[in-house]
Amino acid sequence: MRSPSIVFLAMVLGTEVFISWLVYLLLNRLLAVFQQRWVRNAYWIITAVMTIATLASWTFYATGVPVVGFTVGFAWILGLIFMLPLLLLVQGIVFCKKLWNKKKKTGQDEPAGDTMTRRDFLQRAATTVPVLGLGVSVNGVFDASDIVVQRHNLMMPDFPAGIGKLKIAQISDTHIGPFFSIEKLDQVLSMLQREKPDMLVITGDLIDNLDELTPTMERLEKFHSTLPKGLYYCLGNHEYFRDLDRIRRVWKDSPATLLVNNSRQIVAGEKPIYLLGVDFPWVPRGASSDGKRQDYLQRALQNVPKGAFSLLASHHPDFITDAFQAGIRLTLTGHTHGGQIGLFGQSILPLKYQYMRGLYRQEQSYGYVSTGTGQWLPFRLGCPAEITIFTLAS
């Protein structure tokens, strides 16, 4: 696993210092308690300690060692980030109030009671900002490990009637490493076992710390033996960041199946069911991946007989568009982490994905974007990690 570059760490440090300085200036203007030297000194000491802990832990991230310092320091820094717009809002109200008072033509002072009420309101609003900012941050950091089970029952007119039902479990973006341990994988597999799926599909970004690759495969192979229809896996972008050749060798020797622009028959019969898997469509930044995606999908479709009921596993959600056009009935994807920060079920981050989170439908075909089962950065807000269960029937 590669360590972050010095340039990257310098950029992060510079950003943290700038945000900390802005928050300090605003707190100093808005809160009377900040007039005390020990409070100001405590603020800078805590900020310095948390910044050092975060950067040092991020450096040690390359060793794959879980780092508590990163989690705590990251929560503090995120708290400052959340405080900044709220403090600017309060400061803006104070500034507008001063302008309004200057423009008043009565020449009379406000009644003392009214003046004190407004001051009290602004003082209390400013006082609640640090509590609110740190509260949101701590909640998002320490709740990032919570995992929910999403269940979808999909009735499909052309689903092979003689099969009855097919229960598919999906996990995605576990990023096994510092922030998603082997013990967490055990927990996920136990949750899946209780759902009793016919098959499990892992849609990429399985592991970040390759020191955990052997125990990961041991657990997945054991779980594979409990699945009537098997365990399947497609590649994500993080597999390329680590050691793609090593990962592919391990899966080649495994009874579970790695799908890279090919397919496997899941259920035989007059109308068989096939699962396709495609590679991650790497293209230069700003370029379209349309051509590469279509090429990958056509290669995966080569051995699928006409009239088969087809499913697709892809890490990148853009394949949903191609799958809709190809008449593939269900496409499982991940990659976006659901945006990490959500409000009313929608990501509030300016991420450019046509399909961000949840279930999409076009005519009789469905596409799904998992919010991810883990994370490489320990923060989620309004966007819990998940495992997903699909029950297909006619």
Q: What is the pLDDT along the chain (394 residues), one digit of tens a residue?
A: 444 556 766 776 777 788 888 888 888 888 888 888 898 888 888 888 887 777 666 665 544 444 566 677 777 777 788 788 888 887 787 777 777 777 665 555 555 544 445 556 656 666 677 777 666 666 666 665 689 999 999 999 999 988 889 999 999 999 998 788 899 999 999 999 999 999 999 999 999 989 999 999 999 999 999 999 999 999 999 999 889 999 999 999 999 999 999 999 999 989 999 999 999 998 887 788 899 999 999 999 999 999 999 999 999 999 999 999 999 999 999 999 998 877 766 776 767 889 999 999 999 999 999 999 998 777 788 888 999 999 999 8
pLDDT of residue 285: 78
- CB-count exposure of residue 336 (10 Å: 0-12, 13-18, 19+): buried
pLDDT of residue 91: 79
DSSP SS3 for 165: strand
Residue 68 backbone phi and psi in degrees, to 5: -70, -35
For residues 160 and 101, state if they share a domain.
Answer: no
For residues 211 and 279, state if they share a domain.
Answer: yes
Per DSSP, the residues of 252-313 read HTSSSEE-SSEEEEEE-SSS-EEEEE-------TTS--HHHHHHHHHHHHTTSPTT-EEEEE
DSSP SS3 for 370: coil
d(CA 381, CA 282): 29
- Tokens 């945006």, located at residue: 339
- Tokens 């019969």, located at residue: 269
Question: Is the alpha carbon torsion for 263, 268, 272, 273 positive or negative?
Answer: negative
Residue 387, in any domain of the structure: yes
Q: Domain boundary residue among 90, 111, 142?
A: 142
Residue 164, in any domain of the structure: yes
Cβ neighbors of 285 (< 8 A, separation 6 or more) are: none
d(CA 385, CA 170): 12
Query: What is the C-alpha radius of gyration for the chain, rounded to an integer number of angstroms?
Result: 26
For residues 33 and 82, state if they share a domain.
Answer: yes
pLDDT of residue 360: 97
Residue 206, in any domain of the structure: yes
Residue 86, in any domain of the structure: yes
H or E element in which residue 391 lies: strand 385-393
H or E element in which residue 347 lies: strand 346-347
Q: Domain boundary residue among 95, 120, 142?
A: 142
Q: Show the domain range for 249.
A: 147-393
- Tokens 């974007």, located at residue: 369
Decide if 188 contacts 386 (C-beta within 8 A): no
Q: Domain boundary residue among 142, 177, 210?
A: 142
pLDDT of residue 81: 80
Decide if 189 contacts 200 (C-beta within 8 A): no
* Region of residue 211 (phi > 0: left; psi between -120 and 50: alpha; otherwise: beta): alpha
Residue 294, in any domain of the structure: yes
The DSSP output letter for 239 is H
CA dihedral 28, 33, 37, 41 (to 10 degrees): -70
Report CA-CA distances (Å) from 390 to 121, 153, 165, 304: 51, 6, 10, 22
| Number of domain units in the chain | 2
For residues 287 and 173, state if they share a domain.
Answer: yes
For residues 54 and 132, state if they share a domain.
Answer: yes
Q: How many CB atoms lie within 10 A of CB 309?
A: 23
Residue 1, in any domain of the structure: no
pTM for this predicted structure:
0.81
For residues 104 and 177, state if they share a domain.
Answer: no
For residues 350 and 201, state if they share a domain.
Answer: yes
Structure tokens at 5: 């570059």
pLDDT of residue 47: 85
